[in-house]
Chains A and B, each alone.
Chain A
């Protein structure tokens, strides 16, 4: 891969394609195992971020590396290796760089009180004051509004033109890559699969290259595919116009609507950070919606009330089971009974033997390997913890099963097991909502695919009639 001076490069790829790793190598956070990097014809070895900065490589991170409690100028000079703190000089730097690139900001305001867009300005100023010749942006627009993004691209363009540097824009949003870059580099599975000038490429082409898939995987899936599953059966879950506004004022779900029918697996595709986490939280009673309704089996369910979703018949295998799926310091048996206490108690008194018995039944039924139902949950491996969660959620015969990134962190056999169980559940008439940022998983399991982008469902298709180009475009946010 070659980066020429005076051009802006878009690095495009799905989650896990290797974009971030590549960029981390460039700024010295990750050392390469083999291969070479040349700058101006000289071979370089980037040893550390500090070294990268000396070489003239700067990065603006996706997650801001700012200290909330400090002011803007303090953040800008943070990490300087001089003994004297020259406030006046730092303020001048902020004002000067801000003036030159249209990044005006008050050097004395406290970073904690700034909006996401303003924080990014600070981050960029911090980066620019070292006069980098290679500027890397990691998903810079994921936290920005439309307007802020456009401003950012203008700045980028100016920096590259004036300083004769080069910029790399890591992204999985197709449109902004088309709009803001000169060249596109597309990555997949840790390799560069395509390089082209932006002007000569189209949305279709980019989408296909980004999602691109070998036919082999697809045909081997064919026998799994359950044609027409769910069509015509009752709607068990209906979300209408669900909007969630976060405390910071951002809209994390934006009028999201979707339905799940009994016996079908609906896959929610999309790159991470488009509202999947909040969607699962809403369905776990962990989050109150601002507007919109959630109906289970045609009955509206109050959102955010403890246990309401579970009582209405929504089982959830959460993305992070330690966060909301299990209690690590309680026993396996106790974890298995979390949502069905009523069945092992009478008039408020727990029936420990009954609890143990049903736990033992579930343990053998779901093949959880543990020495006894009375060992603490944390002694189990991740795969077995996941089985416990799945066993509990399916044991109460839910109408809907939500599985959020259920294969993450599991080994191959555990992944296969999880897939089989989800299919089994669907065959038994449960409506399954599979939320995953791994497109493979979704294509492998789902009957119907919906795409989530910026907190809304932007498109839908059946798996047997999947159009990879369109799917890629939807995931990349192109309409």
Chain B
């Protein structure tokens, strides 16, 4: 089979570098799938049943692809935001916290202002974006003011964010929905006012909110911004060679900060849109973000910071999530999906790393030849 593949790929007129890369991708993905299947078999279930359950859960059963799309939207928005930061050479890994803070900010308008109106919906999402941006901006300020590494601060701010969100849910004066006559066991907010909810699209029984088209528009918009504007150009210069950027007039503070703020704003927007789009019955709770931030970060890593590539990758990640719900029904541990996903991510990272290494080695060899 390998021979067939090789000749098939060989016929595509790629440069040898690209052909090598494509082969590496195929080999690594096949390897990851093999390991996954073995793992499933060793766990006493059959891989065909597992695959069937996954596909059923993600696409085939009635209403399931709507569920997959619903989960795609926030992943995509988060991923687009993180690619903006990464383009500028800034490693923001705190999307999980920024998303939670965004949802919390949104909740202050969406769940508290009654009756809801479309204006309140827009304001709520905007407040979510601002809250996410500020949360990420905190890490930016710490870096430019005191040189505290952004990787560290964004990561640690995730834990601070979840504590803060939990706190707002302990006070009736803040977000907690106090139900008279009942002890408050459920630490959650009131539901989003019905007038402030994102519209629901229904196609053949598949239901998802307006956040899906909005996310697509965001991805397209940022694809354009990054490749066709001076802002995107300068971010790229900054990310690839910061000294050249400084010399050419790209202020580290201004452009770096803009990238951090945008990435935070996108995570915040994703959070607020999840809330307004019906996630956990339109109610904000402290576990609201449920790893969407982390997954969105992974999506952008796998898509190699391309907002357009992030679209299919986000769909795959969302499908793995919605499909995993059917695994337990089929008697397979749903945790396996996480393992499979991790294997896929690792498999997708290996080829570019290897080709980069080989490129460097070849360049070195050329240099030593010259000497």
Which residues of chain A have a CB within 8 Å of any CB of chain B?
284-286, 305-311, 316, 318, 323-330, 334, 338-339, 341-342, 345, 348-350, 352, 378
Set of chain B residues within 8 Å of A326, measured between Cβ atoms: 241, 244
A327 to B236, CA, bound (A): 9
Measured in the bound complex, the distance between the Cα atoms of B248 and A327 in whole Å is: 11
Contact B229 A306 (CB under 8 A): no
Which residues of the partner chain B approach A341 to less than 8 Å between Cβ atoms?
230, 233-234
User: Known interface pairs A286-B246, A329-B240, A339-B249. Does A349 touch B233 (Cβ–Cβ under 8 Å)?
Assistant: no
What's the Cα separation between A323 and B252 when bound, in Å?
Answer: 16
The answer to whether B249 and A306 have CB atoms under 8 Å apart is yes
Among B231, B248, B252, contact of A348 (Cβ-Cβ < 8 Å): B231
Q: Which residues of B have CB within 8 Å of A352?
A: 228
Measured CA separation A199–B245 after assembly (Å): 53
- Give the A-B pair count, Cβ closer than 8 A: 76
Count chain A CB atoms within 10 A of each CB in B243, B248, B250, B251 and give the residue with the most: B248
**Which of these, B228, B229, B247, contacts A324 with CB under 8 Å?**
B247
Instruction: Tell me whether A349 and B247 are in contact (CB under 8 A).
Output: no
> Which B residues touch A318, using CB under 8 A?
247
| A307-B241 in contact (CB<8A) | no
Bound Cα distance A311, B248 (Å): 9
The smallest C-beta distance from B76 to any residue of chain A, in angstroms, reads 24
Nearest CB of B to A2, in Å? 32
- CA of A341 to CA of B252, assembled, Å: 17
* Interfacial chain A residues near B192, Cβ < 8 Å: none
Q: Which chain B residue shows the least CB distance to A342?
A: B230
Residues of chain A contacted by B249 (CB below 8 angstroms): 285, 306-308, 310-311, 339
Interface pair B237/A306, CB less than 8 Å apart: no
Q: Which size class do B's interface residues fall under?
A: 20 to 34
Q: How far is the CA of A286 from the CA of B229 in the complex (A)?
A: 25
Instruction: Determine if A330 and B237 form an interchain contact, defined as CB atoms under 8 angstroms apart.
Output: yes
Q: Quick one: closest B residue to A324, CB to CB?
A: B243
Give min CB distance, B256 to chain A, whole Å: 11
Whether A285 contacts B241 by the Cβ 8 Å rule is no
Who on chain A is nearest to B234 by CB?
A: A341
Q: Chain B's interface: helix, strand, loop or mixed, by majority? A: helix
C-beta contact mask, B223-266 vs A, less than 8 Å → 1, else 0?
A: 00000111111101100110111111111100000000000000
Q: Quick one: which of B228, B229, B231, B250 contacts A307, CB cutoff 8 A?
A: B250
| A398 to B: closest C-beta gap in Å | 13
B230 touching A345, Cβ below 8 Å: yes
Q: Could you say which of B229, B231, B247 contacts A284, with CB atoms under 8 Å apart? A: B247
Partner of A349, one of B229, B236, B246: B229
Mask: chain B, 157-179; 1 = CB below 8 Å from A; 0 = not: 00000000000000000000000
Taken together as a complex, chains A and B put the C-alpha atoms of A329 and B304 apart, in Å, by 14
Q: Which residues of A contact B236 (CB under 8 A)?
A: 327, 330
In the A-B complex, list the 8 residue pairs whose CB atoms are closest, starting with the nearest: A307-B249, A306-B251, A324-B243, A338-B248, A284-B247, A327-B241, A327-B240, A306-B246
Closest to A318 in B: B247
**Considering the chains assembled together, what is the distance between the CA atoms of A311 and B250 in angstroms?**
12
Contact A307 B251 (CB under 8 A): yes
User: CB within 8 A of A286: which of B234, B240, B243, B251?
Assistant: B243
Taking CB atoms, residues of chain A closer than 8 Å to B228 are: 349-350, 352
Chain A residue numbers with a CB within 8 Å of B245 are 306
CB 8 Å contact bits of B4-19 with A (1 = contact, 0 = none): 0000000000000000
Contact at A307–B237, with CB atoms within 8 Å?
no
Selected contact of A350 from candidates B230, B240, B241, CB within 8 Å: B230
Q: How near does chain A come to B324, taking the closest CB pair, in angstroms? A: 37
Contact A339 B248 (CB under 8 A): yes
Q: A323-B243, A328-B241, A330-B236 are known contacts. Are A307 and B230 too (CB-CB below 8 A)?
A: no
Q: Are A306 and B243 in contact (CB under 8 A)?
A: no
Chain A residues positioned under 8 Å from B234 (CB to CB)? 341
Which residues does chain A contribute within 8 Å of B250, judged by CB atoms? 306-307
